[in-house]
Amino acid sequence: MSARLPTRWRGVLPYLSEPMPPDLTPESTGRTEVGVNLPMELVRQSVLEREYWPIPDEVATAYRGYRPTPLWRATGFERAIGARVPVYVKYEGGNISGSHKLNTALAQAHYYRRAGVKELVTGTGAGQWGTAMAAACALFGLRCRVFMVESSLRRKPYRGTLMRMLGAEVHSSPSGLTEVSGRHRDGTGNSLSLAIGEAVEYAATHDGVAFCIGSGETYSILHQSVIGLEAQEQLAGLEAEVDAVVGCVGAGSNFGGIALPFLAEERAGGAASPTLVAAESTTAPKLTRGVYAYDKTDATGSGPLEAMYTIGSDYPIPDAHSAGLRFHGAAKLISALRHEGDVAATAVSQPEALSAGQLLTKNEAVLPAPESGHALAAAARLATTGAADGERQLRAERGVLVCVSGHGFLDLGAYEQMLDGALDDEAPAEQALLGAVSGLTPIREPAGLAAGLAAGGSR
């Protein structure tokens, strides 16, 4: 089902139950701090309680190359899982980056170029964000540099090749090019926090260069609202309604993009919001087993501390194919909504996620990224058992909307391991999580973490 390209992004800041806790300096002095070299329009999009923001003409022109993206009822997937309600798929994989990340990369490149920046540098896990940023920089005439998690780049070397095709300089992280990589060179090469930290340090030490981030910031979630806005129109065209909206969560941009326009519609006086379900990896279970506390966003610790659900920025997250979900914390906006009870969450193992991905491949002829497999597995649970987070039952006449945030053509190594029976999964131990967050400043009482960890799952 097609839709019109939205002309405005839609935010939820006017509709929060409580204001988000302010960012703190690393010294926790209580002062709010703005990121270095951040264009003022992105600052405004992060702090102003304004619902609609016009999409700049040159960004809209770039969007028209691949948007609107398709939405369909996945009847083959429904049959395969034994669904009792319809499942609708919103697919974001049909662009050069292979994921939803291009929606904010294009917007950010536009604003940074307008602010006079010559080069953008970033960190990436699975590579979708790095590819999106490389493509956006190429389109808007900016240089691009990407630090990619070593284990991901080793598994998916063609991600690096694609970024280089687009003109980007690509470094395996830890790279040895930055001081922070020297301090954290433990041989694992498995830290998205470190890759981001390397990008932060590089930008801070080079003129005309700015660091950009693809998922956790409030403005990037705003830019992703095109996903949910299109989905609302497409569902209306099908005369369909849903009781749940599902997206996977690394930091939270594609989940926020698909889900938060439904929350905004409810708060603005429209129809009741569906249950908004964030599906995360059991290897990085911040929303289901983490603590709501102030934590670092990267390994340098030089930026402001943000209020987030976190398992600790220094926690050594186990290796997994879903690199885009392998981040220690959730976006402060998603975390605040979780804290207020507006967002439900569930954790999905790697084998369950890739099995769900295989079912979509066999029955809908769409190969999802492993990250999106987590959302599909959560949607399958909802469509078959009708429960999310042990909370609310779905009504039989309505369905589930799931965002498939990217394709898996460069992730076939993960699927090969699954088919060969060689796929495993490593969930964090309770005591390891407690140790990783013990030095953080909690926003909830510390007992809340212990209770959540003791439960061993969603809360």
Q: Tell whether the model's pLDDT for residue 188 goes beyond 60.
A: no
Predicted pLDDT at 32: 39
Q: What is the pLDDT of residue 357?
A: 98
Q: Is the pLDDT of residue 393 over 80?
A: no
For 354-378, give the DSSP string: HHHHHHHHHHHS--B-HHHHHHHHH
CB under 8 Å to 354, separation ≥6 — which residues? 321, 370, 373, 414, 415, 418, 423
Question: Which pair of tokens denotes residue 125?
Answer: 């896990």
Is the pLDDT confidence value at 16 over 80?
yes
Tokens of residue 72, six digits: 């369909």
Which comes out higher in pLDDT, residue 442 or 451? 442
Average pLDDT over residues 317-330: 75
Name the residue ranges covered by the structural domains of the chain: 60-97+225-452, 102-214
Tell me how far CA of residue 184 lies from CA of 37, 116, 354, 434, in angstroms. 25, 33, 31, 21
**Would the pLDDT of 322 be above 90?**
no
Render pLDDT for 121-163 as a digit per residue (tens, 0 to 9): 999 888 899 999 999 999 999 999 999 988 889 988 999 999 9
- 320-348 burial, b at 16+ Cβ within 10 Å, e below that, comes to bbbbbbbbbbbbbbbbbbbbeebbbbbbb
CA distance 451 to 149: 33
The CATH class of 102-214 is alpha beta
Same fold: 60-97+225-452 with 102-214: yes
pTM over 0.85: yes
CATH of 60-97+225-452, one of 3.40.50.300, 3.40.50.1100, 1.10.1740.10, 3.30.470.10: 3.40.50.1100
Of the two residues 88 and 425, the one the predictor is more confident about is 88
Is the pLDDT at 36 greater than 70? The verdict is no
For residue 177, name the pLDDT band (cuts at 50, 70, 90). confident
94-114 pLDDT, tens digit each: 999 999 999 999 999 999 999
